[in-house]
Structure 1
Amino acid sequence: MLRFDDLQLFVHAADLGSLSAAARVMDMSPAVASAALKRIEAQLGARLLARSTRSLRLTAEGEGFLEYARTALASLDEGRRLLARGQDQVSGVLQLSAPSDFGRNLLLPWLDEFQREHPQLTVRLLLGDRIADLFRQPVDIALRYGEPEDSSLVALPVAPDNRRVLCASPDYLARKGEPRQLEQLLQHNCLLYMLGTRVHDHWQFNDGKRELGLTVSGNRFSDDADVVRLWAVAGQGIAYKSWLDVAGDVQSGRLKVLLPGLMCERAPLNLLCGHRAQLSKPVRLLRDMLSERCAMLSKLYPGKQ
């Protein structure tokens, strides 16, 4: 296969009438230039340039091949410009996966705004709480809470300081009472989240001096984090949720944060992808917007940081 730089050298040599001048233009030594010309002539099976110590001219075969070489180089150059323009534009298809709760209640309106700013962009969104298989599912990036278990994935922080909070509706607290100590959670109906077959019923905290843990129980389980939030808003029990997922409910008064003096578990939000080549301009802009919006919500976090 003919090499791009060999074609360039041949065209420059034909235009300048000198192989050494072509070598200087391409910043290579005369010996390398001579080897390149021999290589392309060997691949074509024809002599392109007639050379002597003082002169250089195109052979008949070289004259016939020159225009094809110019056309090929021009076509490749146009292709590179098209790629450069595509990488600079915010267009194409953005395929992403996001957690159910975060996706429905925060990401959807943010994506609406993002697409209004970039109308040439198409979004393909998958919602779910299972870890997306970025090598099998039709997604380029995934937003996920927690540290990635697969070390081969590229993980970029979106909300590194996000934490969980204990929360319940005013209606539930009016009926069942508000817990004032961690142990009192054992007397309450706790709304539990499942990931696969694992039930997240061991809730962890820190009182500033030591780590605390409590295994709770309740009469409702779901593998959809948004369902757990909706149960809490409906007054069905106490939830242990990511602050990002319930910040709007807390601000509106639909939920109340409990035991704010305790530091709850970390729940960092990361953007995951299979390799850095997938970090296109739309992905980078989306991550910047999400990081900014999440940082604003994190400032409202009521517990200890």
Structure 2
Amino acid sequence: MNRLSPLQLFLAAAEAGSFSAAARRLDLGPVQASATIARLERELGVRLFERSTRRLRLTEAGERWLPHARQLVAAWEDGRAALSEGADRPLSGHLRVSLPSDIGRQHLWRWIEEFAATESPVDLRLELRLSDRLADLVQEPVDYSVRYGEPPDSSLIALPLAPDNRRVLCASPAYVARRGCPQTPAELRDHECLRFVLGESLHGRWRFETAQGGASAVEVTGNRVADDGGLVREWALAGLGIAYKSRLDVATDLAAGRLVALLPDWIGEPAPLHWMSVGRHRLTPALRRLAASIQARCAALAAGRQQR
């Protein structure tokens, strides 16, 4: 048992909802695991778990302690990695990343796997969580997040992956044939627009610019709203309406003619893509190489040429 074993066991039990499952994961006996948690509770002076014959759940104190325990374990692991990290050290360990749903499913997971294969990792454990919901890198069990937009928190370190990416208005050829092309942003009010919702925020006010410095914003409506960017793209491909998507999300569809870009004289909203981390210490040379690899692939995708 090392110094972090009580914290690691606490985190495993909180995630598994079971002392026995956590003990098996860490190769401990159930009696030893129970005694370790009891000792941790005595040291902290609080009960961390409510125990019953049927379930195990965190107490209010346990919920408050959870993010701190994660930070302590992560800091220890990062410190050990920093001591042994060399410029040529491959990507290894437990890599937990939150990805946007659409580009994550289409491209990012594959790019990460291909990079890992070239690095020849011995013990890389990859955990990807695909969701458009903004991951809290302190509260949630993820180490990194790839997200569109500027970092919402000044404590986050952001590596640019596609700093010049923007949204593009697009629809399927079938929709255009049926409903026609809008000629100005204002005409979008007469079209079926596929809207995206993030948490409680509905992205229903679409903004555009012109090369001459003009600007326009229009409140759009439609019968379909989704909290998954991939579904919005699928609706557009099915001819169900007009989407306002990151160009990276629809680059392959535009190149193949499955979608067509609308309002070519208007420039879409900025949608920069970043690799985000809490603290610069997490951005090891291997992580920076991974981010640089993804940045190159994003540039190729935006330019209409895919790297394979």
Structure 1: unaligned runs, 5 residues or longer: 1-78
CA distance in structure 1 between the partners assigned to 2:104 and 2:164 by the alignment: 19
- Output the aligned Cα RMSD: 2.1
- Higher mean Cα deviation, 231-240 or 152-161? 152-161
Give distance in 2, aligned partners of 1:215 and 1:81.
Answer: 49
**Equivalences for residues 1-305 of structure 1 within 5 A:** 83-84=84-85, 88-120=89-121, 121-207=124-210, 208-300=212-304
C-alpha distance after superposition, 1:160-192 (max 9, x if no partner): 000000000001111111222222211110000
TM-score relative to the length of structure 2: 0.68
Q: What SS does the aligned partner of 2:208 have?
A: strand
**For 1:239 and 1:91, how far apart are their aligned partners in 2?**
38
1:125: how far off?
A: 0.6
User: Structure 1: how far apart are the matches of 2:138 and 2:100?
Assistant: 18
Give the whole-Å Cα distance in 1 for the aligned partners of 2:207 and 2:263: 13
Deviations 1:31-67 (Å, cap 9, x if unpaired)?
xxxxxxxxxxxxxxxxxxxxxxxxxxxxxxxxxxxxx
Give yes or no for contact 1:102–1:245 (8 Å, CA) kept in 2: yes
Identity of aligned residues (%): 47
> Take 1:198 and 1:85, find their aligned partners in 2: how far apart are those partners?
43
CA positional deviation for 1:81? 11
| Matched residues, number | 223
The TM-score normalised by the length of structure 1 is 0.69
TM-aligned CA deviation for residue 112 of structure 1: 2.6
Three-state SS of the structure 2 residue aligned to 1:88 is coil
Tell me how far apart the structure 2 counterparts of residues 161 and 167 of structure 1 sit (CA, whole Å).
19
The unaligned stretches of length 5 or more in structure 2 are 1-79
| Residue deviations 1:84-142 (CA, integer Å, cap 9, x gap) | 46982332222111100110011122123122213423321111111111012121111
SS at match of 1:107: helix
